[in-house]
Amino acid sequence: MCVPMYHLCSHFRRIALTGIFSYIEVLAKFITMSRKTILRIILYSFLSAVALLICIQLSFTLYFNNRIKTALLEEVVKQTDQKYDVSIAKIRTNLFRQSIYISGFLMKPVKNNGLLLQKDSTLQNSSDTQTYFFTAKRINFINFGVFSYIFRKNLIISRMVLESPSGKIYRSRATLSKHPKGELPEDAKTMFSIYHLFSKKIHSLKINSIQIINADIAVFDDYTDIVPSIVSNENELNILNLRIDKLSDGAGRLFVADSVHLIINNFAYTPKDSLYSFRVKKLMASYSDSTLLLDSFSLVPNYTKREFAKEVKKQTDRFKISAKKVVFNKIDVKLLFERNIFLSEKLDIDSLSLSAYRDKNDIRKPQRAKSLQQILKNLPIYSVIDTIRLNDAEITYEEVAPGSAKPGRVSFNSLNATITGFTSDSTLFSKFNILKIDASCMLMNKGKLQAQYRFPLNTDKTEFECSGTLTEMPMTAMNHMLETNAKVSMKEGVIDSMVFSFFANEFASKGKMKFVYHNLKMEILNKEGGKTGFLEQAKTFFAHLLVIKESNPTGKNPVRITEISYPRDPTRFIFNYSWKSIYSGIKPAISPRSK
């Protein structure tokens, strides 16, 4: 018997609908029952996780904190070749706050390494290396990633805070004055590795932000010093995204960071002899950018002009120096601060003001002057600066002549100069290496002066070449020096041009000068009061009549070319040597009869 097709379809439809409703009913009951089960599972899981975290926290408190502390201390001793010891009062790890707290941190030299801490807190040291003391009331590592450490051994910390940090640095005077030339001191080349301190337990360390404010820092020039030469408690150190890992360690770096900035306000340094004080309004250093900036720096004498020579107990120059801004570019800041080693590609000095004063009435104790080459080789600190630029400098020299009370003055204004090849590295002292100085300025704010110096570095003796030009200068501008020191006053005259070139060595200088001037009128002054009487007027008349040439060239005669020739005074430095050499060419140009 055949069943119609539509009846068959209706039958299957009823069966399907019945099955669907039954499935929905069963599924609803299952879901209702599973909610309670899921809540139980979640609750049990949560409680288990909390219990596990508590167990882990307790294990850190009772076991792992001490293990971490012991391993850290042992690794510091190992890394410093047993020269330093570290003590930590307490290490506490808080997994709930994801923070690590280190209390009572102290790093100090070990006593069996020739380092002895005396009762008065001074230090004695038989070694030639720098010595450090560092303390902090608390070092906090805040908000570190637990899971990145557990699963990947990568420790990521949001912020590091130091409370009451304090540091003392004792710099060995032997290290400051002696080091193997041609290479960095051995202790500067020995790399301390922060990575090795924790590499067995942590693959990498990253700290997003480090800020240290107003650390109490003192630097002593020698282990026997009680009073520090450098003191700072107005400072700030900011480091962003510090990273320490196998890559940074392999590159020979303590760490890498996006930026490292150090700011020291009201920085002061007083050398051992206390003749001068070095002051900086603001010092800013960047390890990552390799820059060092001194804002408003000054070198100020601690004695007046009269008291200075008495303190030195001989005739000497007294300097006063200031600059608006000094910038070292591409400098190894770490070596500079830790070892007093200057390695820089470029040094820019803006608005330098240098004044020097000498009173020749003071007792002079003649001694052989060192050559510039000797001074470079004997610099107390290792220095290599590729290029030094002076921008808009002012240099003034004042000198009181014997028997006089008032100083004469000469000034170099709006001075711009470039110095290349500045180094104390003796391995660079060869015939191919030359210290070059190229300068331009206004002499006495009137004449345009350009000068070049060349100092070969393959000798310890005084040896250099000097050349230059002076143009468009009224002779009256030199009266600030001539009237008090030479008892001569220029009344008229113009230097059209002066071109000079000479070579100087240990014995004498030799060269040529072309000195073009016109309308020279001068007056001889009384040596007592600096005025003119009948005798001085007579001397002036006969000088113009018989000795002095009022112009060069005269009439239709050719320009007089004069010889530069001056036997060196070995007790005088290169500036006096240069001036006397130039004067030896000026004198026969003005007075051809003079010898």
Check residue 20 and give its pLDDT. Answer: 59
Following DSSP, what letter does each residue of 41-106 receive, concatenated?
HHHHHHHHHHHHHHHHHHHIIIIIHHHHHHHHHHHHHHHTTTSEEEEEEEEEEETTTTEEEEEEEE
pTM of the complete model = 0.71
Structure confidence by residue, pLDDT tens digits, 218-258: 887 766 777 777 778 888 888 888 888 888 777 767 777 88
DSSP state of 406: S
- Six token digits for residue 475: 């002779």
DSSP state of 273: T
Q: Lowest-confidence range among 117-121, 323-327, 400-404?
A: 117-121
Distance between CA 146 and CA 30 in Å, rounded?
38
pLDDT exceeding 70 applies to what percent of the chain?
76
Check residue 431 and give its pLDDT. Answer: 62
Structure confidence by residue, pLDDT tens digits, 160-213: 888 888 888 776 554 444 444 444 444 444 445 677 767 777 788 888 998 888
Check residue 9 and give its pLDDT. Answer: 47
Q: Does the pLDDT at position 127 exceed 50? A: no
Structure confidence by residue, pLDDT tens digits, 18-45: 655 565 565 555 555 555 666 666 676 7
Check residue 402 and give its pLDDT. Answer: 87
Where is mean pLDDT largest: 114-118, 186-190, 365-369?
365-369
Closest CA to 146 of 88, 87, 95, 77: 95
The residue with tokens 């007046």 is: 304
Q: Lowest-confidence range among 359-373, 529-543, 554-568?
A: 529-543
Supply angle C-alpha 276, 281, 282, rounded to 5.
125
Check residue 517 and give its pLDDT. Answer: 93
